[in-house]
Amino acid sequence: MKILFIACYSPLINNSASIETLQYLNNLAKIDGNEVHLLTVNFPKNSIYYDEYILSMLDKKVKMHIISGGKIFEKIMPKKSLNTEVADVSKSNKSFIKTLLKKGKSIIAVPDMYLNWAKSASKYGIELAKREKFDVMFSMHEPPSSHICALKIKEEFRDLPWVTYWSDPWLKDSTRANISKARRKFEGSFEKKIVELSDKFIFVTKANRDDYIKSYNIPVEKTFIVTRGYDEKQYSEIKKSSKPSLINKDKINFVYAGEIFSKLRDVNPFIGALNDIKDKNVELYNKLNVMFFGNIDDEDIKNKLMQVENVNVSPRIPYDEALGYMLNSEVLLLFGNKNSKQIPAKIYDYFGADGLIFVILGDENDPIRDVVENKKKCIVVNNNTHEIVNGINKIVSMLENNEKYGPIEEYKWQYISKRLNDILKG
């Protein structure tokens, strides 16, 4: 089977979507008879998102087609800092530039930062499809421009079967709740065309699938649910070799590895819970070593976390290093999303670790509840200080009673990717 795989986020960079792409690519490429071509965005090596380790993990049989995101994209892409005199810019100027870039991004990034890429990549993809005669095309939402690129190719090759993957909602995502009517109309026209021309649909959650079926009258038999997973072999290798310096073997280590988007994830009750434990049970408080790794988009929240004595806040770290912390911690911390049908992809990484998973729901309708409930290694609470304190106490009690649970077998990538291959083969 010859597959054209379209994804803006690829193993060139370090985020949860790129890890997912990596695993799908590798496992599809391992299946006899498959030939996989990846059409993706070029992230320069000096970008803060570029990750050489993740790229090194990509199966060499995958044929990569890397297209530039355009001059504006490459200009505003955050770069790795240089330890030279040239980088001697005042903090106030840096802050001003950062604010300016954020405002510019919100204006021109419709539906996301990759629309210009989608236009260029689709032209390249059309010529590629003429040469390669693909059996199937597969595109991954997150961001939407992956689908827009595939749409242009599908319009040229109507007989090419097209499977679309919807990890998150598009227009109904909570981060798009306040966009303008003009932008909603513009993005909505794209979403409608993509749904109309898609031959099959893959969703990560039942809630998102049901919503698309209802919104667009999609026949249920054309839809599938495929979750994400973890790489057992990679985990074993990293656990043997990693030496995470912030792990304290004399304490109970809590790790959160991922982004904190304040619109989706509210960590204030968690901060309140830690402060409450400090006031009422200092012995318990001193047992805890809490680590956050990843970007936090709200400086006030970041500062509040940093003021808690037993919390360590670190910036984004390479994927293998983050895995080292996950695999050597007793507790993996996860914040669900509020007002969203999206599930944080990190939960599937966590399923492959030995640690307990402390899930703090985004709200009462958080779809992650269906994934984590009735799993013994998951302790699930609502996002309020009282329940979080009770949850921490329960976790500590479980660990002291030696209640430990290993990885969840059904979420190994080899099983997940086989299901995807069967759907693509059709």
**Domain spans, the chain:** 2-82+108-230+414-425, 232-406
Give the per-residue pLDDT at 82. Answer: 56
Give the DSSP per-residue string, 350-392: HTTSSSEEEEE-SSTT-THHHHHTT-TTEEEE-SSHHHHHHHH
d(CA 16, CA 343): 11
d(CA 3, CA 25): 10
Q: Report angle CA 212, 218, 221 to the nearest 5 degrees.
A: 115
Strands (E) in 135-225, as ranges, are 136-140, 162-166, 200-203, 223-225
Residue 240 φ/ψ, nearest 5 degrees: -70, -35
Give the per-residue pLDDT at 1. Answer: 95
Looking at residue 81, the DSSP 8-state letter turns out to be: P
**Binned average pLDDT, 10 residues per bin, the chain of 426 residues:** 96 87 92 96 88 91 95 82 44 42 52 93 98 97 94 97 92 78 91 97 90 95 92 90 93 94 92 97 97 93 95 91 95 92 87 96 91 94 97 97 91 89 92
Specify whether the CB–CB gap between 23 and 231 falls below 8 A. Answer: yes
d(CA 150, CA 39): 10
d(CA 338, CA 102): 23
Helix (H, G, I), strand (E, B) or coil at 105: helix
Strands (E) in 87-175, as ranges, are 136-140, 162-166
CA 354 to centroid of chain Cα atoms: 21
Whole-structure pTM value: 0.78
Domain 232-406: assigned CATH number: 3.40.50.2000
Give the per-residue pLDDT at 84. Answer: 35
Q: Which amino acid is located at 190 in the chain? A: F
We find that the CATH architecture of domain 2-82+108-230+414-425 is 3-Layer(aba) Sandwich (3.40)
Give the per-residue pLDDT at 343. Answer: 84
CA 249 to centroid of chain Cα atoms: 29
Residue given tokens 């997150």 in the structure block: 142
Fold agreement between 2-82+108-230+414-425 and 232-406: yes
Give the per-residue pLDDT at 246. Answer: 96
Nearest to 334 by CA among 383, 295, 299: 383
